[in-house]
Amino acid sequence: MTAPPAPLGAESPLPRWMRLVGAGLTALVAVLTLVVLQQVQQQASRSQALERRLQTLENSRDLERTQALEAQLRALAQRLQGLEASASQLPELALQQEELRRQLQRILQRQLLRQNVEPPEFLPFSDPMPAPGPGPGQASRPGTRPAAKPATKSSTKSSAKSPGKSLPYDESRP
């Protein structure tokens, strides 16, 4: 047969001091567990805060870089617009220059005819940068002159009366 169960109030076979030490150790383990859990939570919150700060710093650096690149892009776009505006004016200016050149040649020819002087082979204000001439064996384009020869003193003196003034052109005059 077995021994009857001990009553609830009966003493256990361990001495009282051992039971108190066991209860104290159990409480100590519980407190240490809570402290460790609290430390883990604090470390996790610190880690998250540091990650947020790091992300903020990286974002601010990226933002600064992005802003710098945007500023460079805006400056480049402005320069490009300026170049496009200048490029659109080039054909118009070339036409104006060609028209002024023709008017100047007509005026010089009229002056030479009035003075009964034979016009020189080239007029002083012809194309300062002549287009490349035709290669060997190629025909020249209509309306173009052969390569210009340097002007002599006598031909430039008569044409240098008023370089800054434009004279009206009269088609009825020779």
Query: Would you list the domain boundaries of the chain?
Result: 16-120
Q: State the pTM of this model.
A: 0.35
Q: How far apart are CA 109 and CA 115, in angstroms?
A: 10
Instruction: Report the alpha-carbon distance of residue 167 to residue 120 in Å, rounded.
Output: 22
For 147-172, write each residue's pLDDT tens digit: 555 455 444 444 444 444 444 555 55
Q: Any idea what the Cα angle at residue 76 is, between residues 74 and 79, rounded to 5°?
A: 110
User: Which of the pair, 115 or 97, is modelled with greater confidence?
Assistant: 97
